[in-house]
Structure 1
Amino acid sequence: MCHFTYKIRLKGLVQGVGMRPFIYTLALKLGLKGEVFNDGFGVQIKLNASENTLESFLELLRQDLPPLARIDELKITQENFENFLKFRIVNSQQSPKKSPLLSDFNLCLECKKEFYDVKNPRYLYPFITCTHCGPRFSIINNLPYDRKNTSMRHFVMCEFCQNEYENPLNRRFHAQPISCPNCAIPVFLKDKNGAVLACQNEAFKLCAKFLKEGKIVAIKGLGGFHLMCDAFNENALKALRERKNRPLKPFALMCKDIKEARALAHINQDEANLLTSKVAPIVLLKAKKVPDLIAPNVDKIGIFLAYTPLHLLLFEYFKGVLVATSANLSGESIIYEENSLRQKLGEVFDYYLDYEREIINSSDDSIAQIINGKTMYLRTSRALNPRYLSLDFSKRKKPLLALGAELKNEFVIFYENKLLISPYLGDLKSLDVRERFEKLLGFFKELYDLEFEELLCDKHPHFDYVKDFKKCVLYPISHHYAHFCAAYFEAGFKGEILGFIFDGTGYGNDGRIWGGEILKGDLEKYERIGHFESFKLINGDVKNIRNLALSVIFHYDLKEEATEFLSKIPSIKFRNLEKIYENSTLYTSSLGRIIDAFGSIVFDLTHSSYEAQIGLMCEKFYDKKLNLTYNFSFENGIIDFKEAFLGALKDDKTRAVTGFFNGLANCMFELSEGKKVLVSGGVFQNKTLLELLRKKGLDYFVPLEFPCNDSSIALGQMVHFLKCAKD
């Protein structure tokens, strides 16, 4: 006989994931009485149970959680006995809103099976979903996560959907985005002026026809529009590059399934598992043979599989592979509203496929690659962020905001002893991205009733977005130390450790541009014990990589060795650049800029077309069979890279790239003195370099869950400050 009622509170990713029906089924299996409901904190359970039965319940609870669920905190209290007559699911209870939000996920296997089942009521229905998959973050307005608080509130369920929605034993129980062909979300294919050309299934058929004819179609996905075209139609590819002003940056490809992806790229089992995972990110892969217009001058391509039923339905009528690039202007956010699409990209696309369910929160596709058998995320957005982390080392009570970096921005909020990491936002130099930043920050502030008195920011004195928070106390934190701290936190290191922080740009403590730093420290303090030799910049235009190369040539007095390279520069222009260099006070130690300068010489380029272009080109020409190493000497805390540029000026592409990478890896190994080190910064997104370091025997940790690029600067700022905080 039960003499007590146990109250169990679950926090974590426990709403909108099928947790309540799972608990309901579990309680019926064990013959327990009580109730379960959502509240603003998470999920609350009341059970009439003996101590032994409670233990059995908790063991089964932990063993077989729903696919998208994650329990961060489980708290049990014993209360006075309540005489429950049965176990039931009750309506959400209002309380202070603290519960985490889930992101949007890949279509689950059960729904996919039903999608292709001709006997199923949702056969080929483009919005089939359940509590194990589909939209969450993109459709939510408020907490708790109930249909009335989402953009599904405008759609009335039919009787069939209502029965499933209300049945605790059905996996669509309280699946807020539920619908079917009887209460369908309307879909339209429109021309660039907004005129409707076709609806529902006919819209997909006509869309596929236009794609086959070489047209460019903007297609609304979970978090925004993609610009799509036939990946093997040369005229379509040329038109998309010309209209979007994207001459060389590779396009991502969307395939219907893994079989089609294997025809385009070399895919091992780890990469196949990642492509088909619930995250379904864009995965960077070694290309087999794809048109040069997809990935010019590189041997890597980004591929992702159709992750929504809407995309799968399109592939029912379009047989092939699609280019799928974010619908945006260069440097701006992904577009998710119809009016904005037509205003900004009306001259880029020919038609657009739209549906009536509103996207409330936009999100980009996540990007990843497999490194030494492990998944490394390069962009964390759809199906990953927002992300919530519980902390065990902070005593702080007041909310806190870390603004992060100017480029590849993600911000981090601390509240209730946990961290909230925003989805990827982009480069805050763009007014459009700034507006997205403000909208999303405002959304979280209102959702969780937060106000900030103190903010963490980058040390750079000229970041405009920081000035928007005039009433807050600002705590500037070193850019490269923030990189160090984010990696240190993910690795769970204890004690002092050596870190190589190599990237493109970051404000240094001496007022110079850093980016090739060797740091030693922990979450509370650090010292800079070494760096690449600083050299003058001719100007601040980092895309003009020929000027970067010229700066290095002047720095090391290599004009005689660089006769052929310098002959390509008109004499008057050369003399002017030399004068600018002599008067420059702008210095950098950035390895990213050194690599760009190196690439300008090796690949005979004047400008880079996109970030990481030189790194990707280097990966194509690295030869692991070639035994050639340029010397990177280290003396008095300075890494000298002169020999690498002497090699670049005389050797062919393969020899130069191989010598550079081998020399860099050898230098790092020697400086590590055989000890475990951490590596972070955008340079370490280079797969060839990371695999080479492992082959050389360097024992290193590189961030995997949190990008090693600037997206994790806010995380580093936050964990450092909280570790040092006294209150």
Structure 2
Amino acid sequence: MADQTNRQRLSLIIRGAVQGVGFRPFIYRLATELALVGWVNNSSVGVFIEVEGNRNTLESFLERVQREKPPRSQIHTIETQWLDLSGYTTFEIRHSVSGEKTAVVLPDLATCPDCFREIFDPHNRRYRYPFTNCTNCGPRYTIIEALPYDRCNTTMKGFKMCPQCQAEYENPLDRRFHAQPNACPVCGPHLELWNLQGEVLAAGDRALIAAANAIREGKIVAIKGLGGFHLVVDARNSAAVAELRKRKGRPDKPFAVMYPGLDLVKEQCQVTPTEEELLQSAECPIVLLKFDLSPNFRSPLTPLMKGGTISSEVAPGNPYLGVMLPYTPLHHLLMRELGFPMVATSGNVSDEPICVDELEALQKLNQIADVFLVHNRPIARPVDDSVVRTMGGREMVLRRARGYAPFPIIIPSPTPSPLTPVLAVGGHLKNTIAIARPPQVFLSQHIGDLETPAAFNYFQQVMTSLRELYEFEPELVACDAHPDYISSQFAASQNLPLIKVQHHYAHVLSCMAEHGLEPPVLGVAWDGTGYGEDETIWGGEFIYISEETYQRVAHFRPWQLPGGEQAVKEPRRIALGLLEELLILNPVLEGRGLINNTPLEQTFTPQELFLLKTMLKKGLNSPKTSSVGRLFDGVASLLGIRQKASFEGQAAMELEFKIGEMITDNYYNFSISSSVPAIIDWSPMITAILKDVSDELPLPEICAKFHNTLVKIILEIAKSFPCHQIILTGGCFQNRYLTERTIDQLQQQNYCPYWHQQIPPNDGGLALGQVIAALKPRVSINHQEV
């Protein structure tokens, strides 16, 4: 009788990543174990639960839900309410309900150990089945079409489960209970190998084996995977890799490599514990690893006992290799067949989005691929592979896509009034978009550079997809302040209140949001290009953010870029702009032939040199910049490292790589004006670099001194502000030497440096910063109200 009087009903609403991760069966098992009655279901906002029982047991249930939740789930909030008894007699899993859609859509998850064992177990009914999955792994974001996450709302709705799969799906004690992509060879998707005419060469397991044979023969195979197509070749075959480069029009940019297993990765690369964890994580991203060139290691160019060598064509001139492990059963099976690493690069035409449909791939990739390994499970939206590296001993996401998107960022929600729904459209390069229904900000997968009509169409498709998934209607649009960005022009066409956000301010805000920081902060925002408030190209910025204002407090001395955008592709032009500015700053150098005795001397014809110098002197098509990214390019040219670039950041990367194992604390001189904003004069540094080149100082030492100078500049500027929170953001802080040395030096001076981890430091993080800027009620720029 006492127990009856102590019985109560507990109602819970759990928000977070709680769908598609086995949360409902977990609740069912826990409630059953504790002899509680009631129900659980999915809703468009999360998971609803009602349980009745003894008060002490209910409190134990609540505590264990938080402590024992499924490993891939994340609980953001739990709303609880104690109610009168309703008289439940059993515990059941009810059908999903609709409503406002704020539930977290889980990213796609790499194959779990249980499914891995099944696909290689000859006695299992899913033996060698490439679409095996369960509630702990498999496709999520790439198959979901609407919320809540039920099979009828996914691209699996066309596959009717066989009796055995249906029994698994309906059994709360099975790990495939309500696994929406659940399938087997009898009832699920299947593989086919096509030729260039779309004719079927093989089906099922024979298609996979034939594709493996084609790769062995040096052919280029287009493979439909989880979020789109890969173009695949044998990574040991230099001729095959070179042919892929030729057909794809990608002369230098590194390719990613998929390895059969971790043991072979460790044979060829240096792998830290953090990197090993990333490689084997459920996100399973591409991880940038350093080739192990220690004396006891066999070089990547030296034959190995197993697995073969990685061709130098894979990452020419780059000491890092983008490595990933198999993350779907299809990849596991293929890599088991091959036993050696393969290049696995995005299946797209240059400057266009990744292909997701087999007929689209057949049309667009037929000049690149030799055969196509396809399947009939539709992909709801393209999602590329994510790219990460370790920085300061922590994970840094450089491209946020598969495994990470569209997982939300939680931002503080001020009271009492709710915040306005915001759409942020990002920048022009490495574009992502974001929708904000505070406190959640849903950042899209990597979209890419908006350089072509196809890329802009993809941008619109991703936006429409995300908005429809969450039935999201923005009341405010935020964009980059650059008037010529196609994303900004799109934002202006939406007939909604528009917030234009300065590029580098958005960079700083994105890092602040990621770390939950409040002002004051000093942001160091260094990148290649960003539209400045004075209509010049910024990129070497120090942004001070207080509670009410943000201000550009320091920047690098501007110089001209002869040819504008063309200079970005030709570092030699940037170097010439630096030298011309040096003559303006130091007229005494006139007539000394600064270009003489430098690697730059031989790169121009007399006619080119005359034309470019005329452009500079007259200011014709020579916009001014303060960009540190461009400074990297110019110095790389002066040192003879790179005169023309085939991809963004190539010269700057090679400048960093030239440091090698060089250790020095030396740096070059510079000066900082006392004006507001302070101007950092790089001319003493460039003059000294030219002297070092003339004196034939070793190149690694010059490169290290250049980097050390940039670190010293940050420390000197930081001394001028009563702020211990220092933000490092922008594409330049993808540079490991620069970033880690800056972190170390700041910490030694008792500053608190913050750098990106889950949000890219490059323009892939702009949309998040734009959201934060739009949600700030009143912010002043240099004390002028906006």
Specify the alignment match of 2:303 in structure 1. Answer: none
SS at match of 2:463: helix
Matching residue within 640, 645, 649 for 2:681? 640
The reply on whether 1:211 has 2:260 as its aligned counterpart is no
- Tell me: CA distance 1:570–1:197, structure 2 relative to 1, closer, same or farther (3 Å): same
- Tell me: CA distance 1:248–1:648, structure 2 relative to 1, closer, same or farther (3 Å): farther
Matched ranges for 1:229-240 at <5 A: 229-240=233-244
Specify the alignment match of 1:538 in structure 2. Answer: 562
Matching residue within 38, 58, 63 for 1:59? 63
Alpha-carbon distance, 1:40 to partner: 1.6
1:513-569 deviation per Cα after TM superposition (whole angstroms, max 9, x unaligned)? 000001111465211111111001111121121111111111102662321323432
Specify the alignment match of 1:348 in structure 2. Answer: 368
Matched ranges for 1:687-706 at <5 A: 687-698=736-747, 699=751, 700-706=753-759
* Structure 2 Cα separation of the partners of residues 614 and 269 of structure 1: 30
1:36-59 deviation per Cα after TM superposition (whole angstroms, max 9, x unaligned)? 111222111111023211210011
Question: Which stretch of the first structure deviates more once superposed, 344-353 or 45-54?
Answer: 45-54
Question: Which stretch of the first structure deviates more once superposed, 254-263 or 277-286?
Answer: 254-263
Specify the alignment match of 2:442 in structure 1. Answer: 420
Specify the alignment match of 1:722 in structure 2. Answer: 775
Matched ranges for 1:457-472 at <5 A: 457-468=479-490, 469-472=493-496
Alpha-carbon distance, 1:200 to partner: 0.7
Q: Is the 8 A contact 2:571 2:651 kept in 1?
A: no
* Structure 2 Cα separation of the partners of residues 380 and 118 of structure 1: 37
The reply on whether 1:550 has 2:569 as its aligned counterpart is no
Matching residue within 640, 650, 658 for 2:704? 658
Specify the alignment match of 1:609 in structure 2. Answer: 646
The reply on whether 1:371 has 2:391 as its aligned counterpart is yes
1:194-253 deviation per Cα after TM superposition (whole angstroms, max 9, x unaligned)? 111111111111111110110000111110000000000111011001111111111100
Specify the alignment match of 1:560 in structure 2. Answer: 593
* Structure 1 Cα separation of the partners of residues 179 and 229 of structure 2: 24
Identity of aligned residues (%): 37
Q: For 1:412, give the aligned amino acid.
A: A
Specify the alignment match of 1:198 in structure 2. Answer: 202
Question: Which stretch of the first structure deviates more once superposed, 315-324 or 696-705?
Answer: 696-705
* Structure 2 Cα separation of the partners of residues 199 and 464 of structure 1: 43
Specify the alignment match of 1:592 in structure 2. Answer: 629
SS at match of 1:302: strand
Q: Is the 8 A contact 2:537 2:625 kept in 1?
A: yes
Matching residue within 566, 571, 585 for 2:606? 571
Specify the alignment match of 1:382 in structure 2. Answer: 402
Question: Which stretch of the first structure deviates more once superposed, 399-408 or 627-636?
Answer: 627-636
Alpha-carbon distance, 1:718 to partner: 1.1
* Structure 2 Cα separation of the partners of residues 390 and 486 of structure 1: 12
Aligned pair count reads 726
* Structure 2 Cα separation of the partners of residues 495 and 454 of structure 1: 24
Alpha-carbon distance, 1:78 to partner: 2.5
Specify the alignment match of 2:542 in structure 1. Answer: 518
Structure 2 unpaired stretches of 5+: 293-299, 301-309, 584-588, 780-786
Specify the alignment match of 1:49 in structure 2. Answer: 53
- Tell me: CA distance 1:280–1:497, structure 2 relative to 1, closer, same or farther (3 Å): same
Matching residue within 428, 448, 452 for 1:406? 428
Question: Which stretch of the first structure deviates more once superposed, 79-88 or 373-382?
Answer: 79-88
* Structure 2 Cα separation of the partners of residues 672 and 681 of structure 1: 17
1:67-99 deviation per Cα after TM superposition (whole angstroms, max 9, x unaligned)? 221111211123332111111111112333332
Q: For 2:570, give the aligned amino acid.
A: N
Matched ranges for 1:14-413 at <5 A: 14-288=18-292, 289=300, 290-394=310-414, 395-413=417-435
Alpha-carbon distance, 1:315 to partner: 1.5
- Tell me: CA distance 1:277–1:470, structure 2 relative to 1, closer, same or farther (3 Å): closer
Q: Is the 8 A contact 1:549 1:600 kept in 2?
A: yes
Let me know the Cα RMSD of the aligned residues.
Answer: 1.8
Q: For 2:459, give the aligned amino acid.
A: F
1:587-630 deviation per Cα after TM superposition (whole angstroms, max 9, x unaligned)? 00000011011112223533111122123212322144245322
Matching residue within 708, 712, 731 for 1:682? 731
- Tell me: CA distance 1:573–1:389, structure 2 relative to 1, closer, same or farther (3 Å): closer
- Tell me: CA distance 1:68–1:668, structure 2 relative to 1, closer, same or farther (3 Å): same
Matched ranges for 1:6-21 at <5 A: 6-21=10-25
Matching residue within 529, 548, 556 for 1:505? 529
* Structure 2 Cα separation of the partners of residues 114 and 345 of structure 1: 33
- Tell me: CA distance 1:563–1:704, structure 2 relative to 1, closer, same or farther (3 Å): same
- Tell me: CA distance 1:696–1:449, structure 2 relative to 1, closer, same or farther (3 Å): closer
* Structure 2 Cα separation of the partners of residues 593 and 568 of structure 1: 18
SS at match of 2:340: coil
Q: Is the 8 A contact 1:388 1:418 kept in 2?
A: yes
Q: TM-score, normalised by structure 1?
A: 0.97
* Structure 2 Cα separation of the partners of residues 680 and 21 of structure 1: 42
Specify the alignment match of 2:668 in structure 1. Answer: 630
Q: Is the 8 A contact 1:227 1:326 kept in 2?
A: yes
* Structure 2 Cα separation of the partners of residues 653 and 492 of structure 1: 41
Alpha-carbon distance, 1:648 to partner: 4.1
Alpha-carbon distance, 1:65 to partner: 1.2
* Structure 2 Cα separation of the partners of residues 648 and 431 of structure 1: 43
SS at match of 1:554: helix
Q: Is the 8 A contact 1:14 1:42 kept in 2?
A: yes
Q: For 2:687, give the aligned amino acid.
A: L
* Structure 2 Cα separation of the partners of residues 554 and 216 of structure 1: 47
* Structure 2 Cα separation of the partners of residues 376 and 391 of structure 1: 20
Alpha-carbon distance, 1:697 to partner: 4.3
Q: Is the 8 A contact 1:488 1:523 kept in 2?
A: no
* Structure 2 Cα separation of the partners of residues 308 and 708 of structure 1: 28
* Structure 1 Cα separation of the partners of residues 454 and 327 of structure 2: 27
Q: For 1:570, give the aligned amino acid.
A: T
- Tell me: CA distance 1:723–1:393, structure 2 relative to 1, closer, same or farther (3 Å): farther
1:2-52 deviation per Cα after TM superposition (whole angstroms, max 9, x unaligned)? 543221111111111100000000001111011111122211111102321
Q: For 2:612, give the aligned amino acid.
A: L
* Structure 1 Cα separation of the partners of residues 438 and 681 of structure 2: 48
SS at match of 1:603: coil
* Structure 2 Cα separation of the partners of residues 569 and 229 of structure 1: 38
* Structure 2 Cα separation of the partners of residues 155 and 725 of structure 1: 52
1:623-675 deviation per Cα after TM superposition (whole angstroms, max 9, x unaligned)? 44245322233223111222433344314421221110111112222322394
The reply on whether 1:442 has 2:497 as its aligned counterpart is no
Alpha-carbon distance, 1:137 to partner: 0.8
Q: For 1:685, give the aligned amino acid.
A: Q
Q: Is the 8 A contact 1:453 1:471 kept in 2?
A: no
Q: Is the 8 A contact 2:420 2:476 kept in 1?
A: no
Structure 1 unpaired stretches of 5+: none
Specify the alignment match of 1:489 in structure 2. Answer: 513
